Structure 1
Amino acid sequence: MVRKITLWLLWAGFIVYAFLLTPERQAASITLLKNLFTLQWAAINPIILSIFALIGILLLIYSCVLFIDGRMQKIPFWPFVAAGAGTGVIGLIPYLALRESNQTFSGDKDAFLKLMDSRWTGVILSLNTLALLAFGWLAGDWGDFVRQFHSSRFVNAMTVAFCLFCVLFPTVLGDDMARRGIKDQPVFWAVALVPLLGPLVYLCLRPPLSVSTDAGVRQASAATLS
């Protein structure tokens, strides 16, 4: 219950912050959004482009965990990831608050769940993330980014949303580890304490989800991670 209340308060607090407390020079945001959606990316600071793209990567990271989780929940995950594609963390947090903790999986994995469960998906996401981080770091103008953070509502809220995506991943990590028979707390903390890259390494190394409930199968799968 404490977890749910905290998530709802965080959700409401972010909405209030994004629409009432972020910088109010909307002309800067309008110009940026126009350039973004008309593909005039050369006019946009690479750091901002990278953060925008990395939020998409983070949604996919959550998808690799929560589409499987949604199979066992009363509510499916797909409406929330669809909302998240348009609103970012505002669309995702309600699912995190409404879902119940669940550490089991039953039924067959269809082609889509196999894709979400595949280590190759984690590898592809990791390579794209490294490319985006290098692009933003090497080609970006950090002084300009700071100025836009303090003048553009969109840049400010997007950056805070990116941080929230990173901070909230541990709320779903424990259940995914349990579904795979991984009980090592050091693994949990190694993933949880390294924003963005920790979850990506986890997706690359986690054992495939087994629909078997046999403890021996689970332990054998968990051993492949270590």
Structure 2
Amino acid sequence: MMTRKIILFLIWIAFTSYTISLAPLDQPDTWPLVQKLLTFQLADINAIIVSIFWFMGIWPMIFACLIFADGKMQKIRAWPSWIGSNGMGIIGLTPYLLLRASNQEFDGKKDKLLRSLDKRSTGIALLLTTLGLFAYAFIAGNWGDYVQQFQTRAFVHLISIDFCLMCLIFPITSLFDDDMARRGLKDARIFWAVALVPLFGPLIYLCLRPPLPEVEIGRLQESPLPAMS
């Protein structure tokens, strides 16, 4: 377990340092591009860049389907890192993954947020959105232009690497193992089937995983009295 955290820490430090060195927010072409992406002014933007940008919204939602249930069992809160992941990718997400303790149980009731994130329909919606983005990039994208922008524009360069690192860290963190254990999934083949298929493995897992079992809090506090001899 410690080896995994060391790997995560090294990835986090390396990518954070690399991002600081490139200083994408100081580049004059960054904010106009981000503004156009957020306001759907996409006519003059390569479809591949559009898709990668929105994949970086898909990944926080994938992690949300795991970390908010996990956060109920942790001493630290999950939401600050999750919010950070929406703007900073793994730079914002990794602190929670480093500080959390492995926990394979879930006690109590699911609130409305957890019920929504636990639904298979949420996973299906994310999968269909991802398929649509891939189709858009494949049909309308220009790979030659994307390679050129990857080499010359810091923002495009960094979100592309961030996307790849999100794919990498999903199976490295014990968050995924613990989510499987909470749902009674102990087959290692499930882990590897998800881990070895970037992005689509986690999405299919969200579509197929059994619901998180709930435990009544009152029942947790009850313990049978020892039998009197």
Q: TM-score, normalised by structure 1?
A: 0.88
1:192 equivalent in alignment to 2:195: yes
Q: Which runs of 5+ in 1 are unaligned?
A: 214-226
From 195, 202, 207, the counterpart of 1:204? 207
What does the per-residue CA deviation read over 1:22-63, in whole Å, with 9 as the maximum and x for residues that have no partner?
899934434423433454211111100000101101110000
* 1:157-196 pair list within 5 angstroms: 157-170=158-171, 171=173, 172-196=175-199
Measured against aligned partners, the alpha-carbon deviations of 1:69-102 in whole angstroms (never above 9, x if no partner) come to: 1110111111111111121111001111111111
For residues 212 and 31 of structure 1, the distance between their equivalents in structure 2, rounded to whole angstroms, comes to 49
Where has structure 1 moved over 4 Å in runs of 4 or more?
21-25
Question: What amino acid is the match of 2:188?
Answer: Q
State the AA in 1 paired with 2:19.
Answer: A
Q: Does the CA-based 8 Å contact 1:61-1:200 persist in structure 2?
A: yes
Counterpart contact for 1:48–1:155, Cα < 8 Å: yes
Distance, in Å, in 2 between the alignment partners of 1:143 and 1:195 is 23
SS in 1 for 2:43: helix
Residue in 2 that maps onto 1:103: 104
Q: Which runs of 5+ in 2 are unaligned?
A: 217-229
Would you say the 8 A contact 1:69–1:102 is kept in 2? yes
CA 1:18 to 1:209, structure 2 compared with 1: closer, same or farther past 3 Å? Answer: same
Contact 2:151–2:157 under 8 Å retained in 1 = yes
Q: Give the AA of the match of 1:204.
A: C
CA distance in 1, matches of 2:35, 2:94: 27
Q: Structure 1 residues 139, 79: closer, same or farther in 2, change over 3 A?
A: same
1:113-192 correspondence to structure 2 within 5 Å = 113-170=114-171, 171=173, 172-192=175-195
CA RMSD in angstroms comes to 2.0
Q: What is the rounded CA distance, in whole Å, between the counterparts of 1:10 and 1:109 in structure 2?
A: 33
For residues 16-31 of structure 1, the aligned pairs below 5 Å read 16-20=17-21, 26-31=27-32
SS at match of 1:40: coil
SS at match of 1:4: helix
Q: Deviation at 1:5? A: 2.6
Name the SS of the counterpart of 1:183 in structure 2. coil
Could you say which residue in structure 2 is the equivalent of 1:221?
none
**Higher alpha-carbon Rg:** 2
Alpha-carbon distance change, 11 to 184 in structure 1, aligned in 2, over 3 angstroms = same
Aligned residue in 2 for 1:69: 70
Closer/same/farther in 2, CA of residues 23 and 142 from structure 1, 3 Å limit: farther
How far the C-alpha of 1:159 sits from its partner, in A, is 0.4
- C-alpha contact 2:84 2:92 (8 A) present in aligned 1: yes
Deviation at 1:16, TM superposition (A): 1.2
Q: State how far apart, in whole Å, the 2-side matches of 1:35 and 1:114 are.
A: 34
Distance in structure 1 (CA, Å) of the matches to 2:146 and 2:121: 33
Say if 2:66 is the partner of 1:87: no
Cα contact 1:67–1:78 (8 A) shared by 2: yes
Query: Per-residue displacement from partner, 1:125-151 (whole Å, max 9, x unpaired)?
Result: 111110011001111000000000000
